[in-house]
């Protein structure tokens, strides 16, 4: 088992299907990094680290600005996973956040693990947007 240093995909170099799966994932990963920026499309290990950092900053007894930055790190990590699962027709980060905020109000109440003051700030920055249900499963991942 090897892990690609660029995209983080783990595969067996001597398995033909694995190599093909990696090539597909790798090309998709590079295309998405080009489209959304390298800060927004991450290897899964980086996603996990960013998400953990985000949760720690959000949950701690820190000032609002720090907790807000933690919430945004969580959202970036989820965005990365969602875009990689969905592909190039995925909405922008700003649209994605607005859709998750809307979903959190009227489809899946309180799915987002953020406090009310953080949610209010996010809504005032990103707004609310319909459309999450058209884009199915990949958006729900925590």
- The minimum distance between CB 4 and Zn ion, in angstroms, equals 3
Q: Which residues pair with 10 in a beta bridge?
A: 3
CB nearer to Zn ion: give 4 or 49.
4
Rounded to a whole number of angstroms, the minimum distance from the CB of residue 12 to Zn ion is 14
Q: Is 26 in the site for Zn ion (CB under 5 A)?
A: yes
Which tokens go with 37?
């920026």
Give, rounded to a whole angstrom, the gap between the first and last alpha carbons of the chain: 26
- Three-state DSSP class for residue 2: strand
Q: Give the DSSP H or E segment for 123.
A: helix 116-126
In the complex, what is the shortest distance from the CB of residue 24 to Zn ion, in angstroms, rounded to a whole number? 10
Torsion sign across C-alpha atoms 38, 130, 69, 141: negative
Q: Which is nearer to Zn ion, 26 or 121 (CB)?
A: 26
Q: Which of these ranges, 9-17, 46-54, 59-67, 121-129, lies near Zn ion under the rule CB under 5 A?
A: 9-17
Q: Six-digit token pair at 16?
A: 């033909």
Closest chain position to Zn ion (CB): 4
Is residue 7 within the footprint of Zn ion (CB under 5 A)? yes
| Cα–Cα distance, 96 to 82 (Å, whole number) | 9
Q: Which stretch binds Zn ion (CB under 5 A): 22-30, 47-55, 74-82, 111-119?
A: 22-30
The residues that touch Zn ion, with contacts defined as CB under 5 A, are 4, 6-7, 9, 26
């Amino acid at each position: 088992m090897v892990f690609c240093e660029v995209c983080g995909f783990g595969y067996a170099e001597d398995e033909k299907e694995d190599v093909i799966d990696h090539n597909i994932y790798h090309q998709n990963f590079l295309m998405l990094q080009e489209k959304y920026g390298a800060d927004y499309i991450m290897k899964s290990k980086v996603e996990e680290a960013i998400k953990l950092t985000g949760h720690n900053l959000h949950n701690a007894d820190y000032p609002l600005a720090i907790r807000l930055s933690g919430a945004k790190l969580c959202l970036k990590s989820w965005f990365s996973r969602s875009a990689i699962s969905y592909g190039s027709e995925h909405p922008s980060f700003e649209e994605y956040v607005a859709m998750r905020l809307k979903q959190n109000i009227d489809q899946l109440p309180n799915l987002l693990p953020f406090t009310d003051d953080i949610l209010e700030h996010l809504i005032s920055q990103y707004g609310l947007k319909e459309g999450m249900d058209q884009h199915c499963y990949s958006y729900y991942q925590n």
